[in-house]
Each structure stands twice: as structure tokens, then as C-alpha cells.
Amino acid sequence: MAYNVETPIPSAATSLLELEQRVRDDLACLCYPPANWVVPTASDEQVHDVVVIGGGMCGLVASFALIGAGIQNIRIFDRSEEGLEGPWLTYARMETLRSPKQLTGPAYGMASLTFRAWHVAQFGNDAWAKLDKIPRPMWMEYLSWYRKVLDLPVENGVEVKAIQPEGAFMRLTITGKGARETSVLTRKVVMATGRDGMGHPSIPDFVGDLPEKYWAHSSDEIDFAALSGKRVVVVGVGASAVDNAAEALEAGAAEVRHLIRRKEMPCINKLMGIGSFGFTAAFPQLGDARRWQIMNYSLRTQTPAPRGSTMRVSRHPNAYFHFDAAVESVELDGDEIVIETSQGKSVRADFLILGTGFGVDPLARKELDGYADKILLWQDRFTPPESEENDQLGRFPYLADDFSFLEREPGQAPWLANIHSFNSGAAASLGKVSGDIPGISEGASWLVREIAAKLYSENFDQYWQRLLDYDTPELRGDEWTASPLPDSVAVNDRKQA
């Protein structure tokens, strides 16, 4: 294991099997899975009702919710190998999750599906009480178990290359060693594509002329062992920047210097202070000005790296935090990287790591080539007050209540209503309910309720005919005997008497 926790208790295997039986019993009590109610689509080629792109946390809980809603004609694609979905065992390099261990995450209202239930089944209540934060690899183990115990049909090694309209449907071009065909048709698409699912890694212009062997983004595969004895500069001080700095230091880097444009370290995770069910429920209804106000404030104050991650760096004497030191330019001097800063001082390094996060930009998504520019963005819909301008926030898609894209110009791309952005790109419109652990189940519930309503409305005539054709009797005719009314005159006579 890549983390240090108590070893499983001797009866852990039995306990985990007992938990899995409990999950199955709970699902049976909830009548899961219900019968599929969606009318089949008449077509020469099979048409799926929903295709979910992504088999990580967002894709798993969305798929569980779809099946639980009686929408079973679905496919789930993930480009990664099984067990490597999402960032947890790839470019995520923190030791533990930031989220408190008790959050229910993708459990979707089922106690037996929580991380706590899974952990206690293997390690016991005492170990749960001692656990501080969830080790990152352990979270991936939990998600793999979640997928297994729910029997979610994720197809690994399948990458969606393009999403194109075709009549009333969407055609997905797919590739990869797990692909059984070259394309599929579907009525709805759920892009459960995670942190970079509606954009791309943010790459500053200053590395434009720097050969790629001298730098990497924090989401790239990095050979940290090769950095032993090297001078490393990390741009930024967010969570990913700090985690990558720690990895370089632990691999034996000669020194690691953070170049930080801010004048001081961000220390408060502001959204933690207002997180509640009320906030989650109200955010989509707050109006454009208030939603922008909250998101802009959050982006500007920046979410700090966790305390443990930061101390993982600062405990090394060869780690340095340089504030008010924005990168102005980068160039090569032989094999040395020369970085000019806003302080007028230069820093020399052997390797540069960009902890610059991800940008939201639908135009960067290759799956949407040919019509991404028709997607309504926040900058098209809302003009912020002076001093609240934010180009980054302006590029977020302005979504409908069901996570679907809206058209920049009505009538130009009506098929956008069939693509649901259930990823970090939804944050500006609907809040953090489609990427982060705290609100993921609420987000899945909203998403699936709205998809179900669309599927039903689009085939209303067929459901109406089902109503008309339904002829299974509740009563057989032998449950009662008809009785004549008594004579009215006799009744009146008795009343007069």
C-alpha cells in the first residue's frame, strides 16, 4: 500500500462481505433496480437513452442514480484502465483528501454505501475514530468497491472523440482498446468528466518557447526520480502546486522554490464557511448577480492548500516560498532555465512545474468541435459590476437547471439541450454539486430527475397511449353484489311517522 493505516482486522473479509450483503438488502428494500420505463426508440440502429462519459466518482453516482430512476438503457465509458479512473492514482499527488472523512459523498442517501461503512467493515470502529483524513489511494479503493457492489457497467478503455448531432440523437465517435464499435447513438449525453472536463490545464504563455523536456503541468506524468539533485521551481501555491513540490522534495530535489504572484499565503477556504444544504439548494436560484458575486469572491481569495500538504513541503529545509514573485518571462541559458520575476530578480532552475490549475473553456473540448462556439457562456449572459470582472469565470458555460448547455443564439444548435455538463464546469451555474465530494449526490439527484422528465416529455404521446391501453383490472366483478335503492315513498312515509 502507498499509505499507512491499520491493517484490516482479522474478520475484515467477512465484515466486508456482510456489508455488501447489507447493501444488497438495502437496495432490495428500495426496489432497486426498478423496471425500465423508458419506451424503446424505433431505429435501424440501437439508440441508448443516456451515455455517461466518465467512470470516476461523478460518472458512478450519476449512473447509479439513472438506473435507480428506471433508466437502464445506458452506457458508461471511461478512457482509463479499470482502477485508474479519475485523478486519484494518476496526477493527484496529495497524501490525503481535503474533505472531512464523514462526508457521505456518492452514497446517494444510503448509509451502507458510505466511505465510513466501508472503512469500519475492514478496520473497525476504533480505527475509524483514529482516522484523521482519508488517504488518497484508499479513496480510490472505496470507489472501486462502490462500482463493484453496485455492479455498474463501466466500459474501460473507451475514449469519446466526438459528439455530433444526428437527427434527434447524438452520435458519439469512440475509440480505444475497450471499444466494441466505432460509434454509438444516444438521446442524452452526460459529460461526467471531472476537474478538466470542460476545459484544459492552464498553461501560461511564458512557457511557449521553452522545450517541453524542461517543464510540466501538475496534471502531467512527471518522472520525479529524475529530479533528484535538481533545482525545481513550482509556479503557484495551490493544492496541486504544493503536492507536486512535496513529491519533488521527497524524490531528492536539491531545492524547490515556489514562485507565487500573491503577496501572502491564502489561508482560509471561504466556501467552507457557508457550506450547507440550504446553500446547495439555493445557489441555482440566487440570480446571476449573486452567483457571480460568490464564485468571483471564491476564485479571487483562492482555496488554500491543506495544512498537512503545506507542512509536507515546509518541513524540508531546501523548500522556499517566494511571495509577490510573479513570473514575467522564461528563457534558456544553456541547460539552465532563467526565470525573471516581478521583483526584478531572476531565479535559475533545472525544471519547472506549473501548479496553475485548470481553465474552463468549452472551446477547448475536442469532443465539441464544430459547435462549441454556439454554447452560451457566462460572459455572454452577464456583465459584472466594475471591480468584479473575471475573465476566467466568464468562460464558464451558462447552464440550464438540468446541467445542459444553452444556445448562444436560440435556434442555432438546439441539440445542445441533449448534452449535460456534469463536471466542474457547472460550478458557476449550479454550484459545486458535480465535481466535489460534499454535494455530489444532490447533484446526481437533480441531474437524473431532469433527464427523466425530458425523456418522458419527449415521448408523451406514447406514454398517453400506454395509459389508454392499460386494461389490467384491479377488481374482477365478484367482490360485491348490487343492491336496489329502497322505495322512496316508503322512506318518506317513515320520516313523516
Predicted confidence (pLDDT) per residue in 336-346, tens digit: 999 999 999 99
Query: Per residue in 403-441, pLDDT tens?
Result: 999 999 999 999 999 999 999 999 999 999 998 899 999
What pLDDT does residue 496 have? 58
What share of the chain has pLDDT > 70, as a percent?
96
Mean pLDDT calculated for residue range 17-23: 96
Same domain? 351 vs 384: no
How many whole angstroms separate alpha carbon 272 and alpha carbon 352? 32
Segment 291-317, tens digit of pLDDT = 999 999 999 988 899 999 999 999 999
Amino acid (one-letter) located at 339: I
Q: Residue 47 domain-assigned?
A: yes
pLDDT, average across residues 163-177: 97
**Are residues 256 and 183 both part of a single domain?**
no
Q: Are residues 42 and 188 in the same domain?
A: yes
Tell me the C-alpha distance between 443 and 433, whole Å.
5
| Structure-model confidence comparison of residues 189 and 199, the more confident one | 189
Q: Does a structural domain hold residue 493?
A: no
Q: Does residue 299 lie in a domain region? A: no
The 10s digit of each residue's pLDDT in 95-125 is 999 889 999 999 999 999 999 999 999 999 9
| 278 Cβ contact list (under 8 Å, min separation 6) | none
pLDDT confidence bin for 485, thresholds 50/70/90: very high
Tell the burial category of 496 from Cβ atoms under 10 Å away from its Cβ (0-12, 13-18, 19+).
exposed
The number of folded domains in the chain is 2
- 226 in a domain, yes or no? yes
CATH number, position 323: 3.50.50.60
Task: Indicate if the pLDDT at residue 1 is higher than 80.
Answer: no
> Are 421 and 309 members of one domain?
no
Give pLDDT, residue 30: 96
The proportion of the chain whose per-residue pLDDT surpasses 90, expressed as a percent, equals 87
Instruction: Spell out the residues 6+ positions from residue 394 whose beta carbon is closer than 8 angstroms to its own.
Output: 377, 378, 379
Q: Are residues 344 and 380 in the same domain?
A: no
- Please report the pLDDT score of residue 497 as a whole number: 52
Average pLDDT, the chain: 93
Residue 73 grid cell? 438503457
Contact (Cβ atoms closer than 8 angstroms) between residue 109 and residue 86: no
Last residue of a domain, one of 324, 356, 388: 356
- 216 versus 195: the higher-pLDDT residue is 216
Establish if 484 belongs to a structural domain: no
CA 143 vs CA 106, 146, 304, 360: distances in Å: 9, 5, 26, 26
Residue 314 sits in the same domain as residue 416: no
pTM for the full predicted model: 0.92
Same structural domain, 373 and 438: yes
Residue 461 scores a pLDDT above 70: yes
Q: Lowest-pLDDT range, 266-270, 333-337, 387-391? A: 266-270
What is the separation of C-alpha 24 from the centre of its chain, rounded to a whole number of angstroms? 25
What burial class does residue 70 get, using C-beta atoms within 10 Å of its C-beta: 0-12 exposed, 13-18 middle, 19+ buried? middle
Instruction: Give the whole-angstrom CA distance, residue 47 versus residue 169.
Output: 8
**Domain range spanning residue 122?**
12-199+360-458
**Under DSSP, is residue 169 helix (H, G, I), strand (E, B) or coil?**
strand
Cell, residue 91: 496526477
> Rounded to whole angstroms, how far apart are CA atoms 196 and 203?
13
One-letter amino acid at 454 equals K
Residue 188, pLDDT score: 98
DSSP bridge pairs for 370: none
Is residue 10's pLDDT more than 70? no
On whether residue 489 sits in a domain, the answer given is no
Q: Classify residue 339 as left (phi > 0), alpha (psi -120 to 50) or beta.
A: beta
For 36, 136, 208, 430, the CA distances from 347, given in Å and listed in that order, are: 62, 33, 18, 42
**The total number of residues written for the chain in this structure:** 497
pLDDT for residue 138 is more than 60? yes
User: What are the tens digits of pLDDT across the range 237-280?
Assistant: 999 999 999 999 999 999 999 999 999 999 998 888 788 899 99
pLDDT-derived band of residue 365, with 50, 70 and 90 as boundaries?
A: confident
Instruction: Check whether residue 168 and residue 29 sit in a common domain.
Output: yes
Residue 298 cell numbers, joined: 471564491
Write down the pLDDT at residue 2: 46
Model confidence band, residue 197 (pLDDT cutoffs 50, 70, 90): confident
Q: 192 and 211 in one domain?
A: no
The verdict on residue 347 lying in a domain is yes
pLDDT 10s digits, 66-92: 999 999 999 999 999 999 999 999 999
Is 138 within the bounds of a domain?
yes
Is the domain of 367 the same as that of 251? Answer: no
Same domain? 88 vs 32? yes
Query: Do 89 and 184 lie in a common domain?
Result: yes
Report the candidate in 89, 83, 394, 365 with the shortest Cα–Cα distance to residue 201.
365
